Every structure is written in C-alpha cells, then in structure tokens.
Structure 1
C-alpha cells in the first residue's frame, strides 16, 4: 500500500476557509475518484514555518491506483486548489510505501 501525503503551508488569513473547503469539497472529490481507500487530515502542531501547516494523506492500495490518480484526476483537482488559493499556500507532495513489520 502507498501513502500519498500533501503538506500545505497556508497564510494565516486563508487557513480557516481552506480547512472548510478541504473537508466539504476537496477531500470528498479526491475520494470520489475511487483511487484511494482512506484519508486523513492532520494539523502540524510544531511547524517551524510561518502560517498554518496541514497534511492531507490518502492511502492507495496499489501503485497503479496512485499513478492513475496522478494522470487522470490530479491535474484538475490541483488546478482548482491553485486557482482558489493562489499565492496563499505552498504545497509539498510525497509518495511513501508502507513497510510490512518483520515477524
């Protein structure tokens, strides 16, 4: 399984509106793609950055699901975020693979 993590650092003035939009609109749209099996939204408590930092995380069962999301769905969803919050955030995206525990 794979964890797609999007870390966003938002201007203080945009943070509350962005959070509501993420919960009501963006995350449901991402999940409606069918490419992820779960998600969570976290607020970074000890961020060294100015502004407010959040991590939106999505779990994909396979690398193919993640790749299809990136190719088919991500461009439009990211464009909506960029248009809506232009110049009010910075985003970092990472893909991580779950490591199974050893027995």
Structure 2
C-alpha cells in the first residue's frame, strides 16, 4: 500500500475557496479515477509557513495504480488546480510506502 501525499501552502485569500473546491470537486474527481482506495484531507496546525497549509492524502493499493494515476490522470487534474489558484499556492508531493 502506498500513500500519495500532496501538501499545499495557500495564500490566506485562497484558502476558503480552495477547501470548498477540494471537497466538492477535486477529491471526488481524483477518487473517480479508481486508482485510490481511500483519501483524507488534513489541515496543518503548526506550520512554520505563512498562509494556510493542508495535506491531501490518497491511498493506492499498488505502484501500478499510482503510476497510472500519474501518467493518465494527474496532468489534467493538476492543470485545473494551477489554473484556478495560479500564484496563490505552492505544492509538494511525496509518495510513501506503508511499513506497518
């Protein structure tokens, strides 16, 4: 099992709009790809960064699911994020493997 984590640091002015868009549009679109079995959305409360920090996490059962997501679906989904919130966020993406 793999955990795909996307950490976003948002300008204060974009945070509320982004959160609504994530919950109503983006996360449902990501999950509709069928490449992930679960997700969660977390708000970082002790971030050293200015702005508001969130982590969107998605669980993939196999590396093949994750790779297919990255190759087939991620480019368009990330383009939508970049277009809607241009210059109002930075994102860091990591892939982790469950150990226990």
2:6 equivalent in structure 1: 6
Q: Within the alignment, does 1:61 sit opposite 2:61 as a pair?
A: yes
Q: Structure 1: 5+ residue runs without aligned partners?
A: none
Secondary structure of the corresponding residue to residue 31 of structure 1: helix
What is the TM-score normalised by the length of structure 2?
0.99
- CA separation in 1, counterparts of 2:40 and 2:99? 19
What is the TM-score normalised by the length of structure 1?
0.97
1:90 equivalent in structure 2: 90
- RMSD of the alignment, in Å? 0.3
Secondary structure of the corresponding residue to residue 24 of structure 1: helix
2:17 equivalent in structure 1: 17
1:72 equivalent in structure 2: 72
Q: Structure 2: 5+ residue runs without aligned partners?
A: none
Aligned residue pair count: 100
What is the deviation of 1:7? 0.0
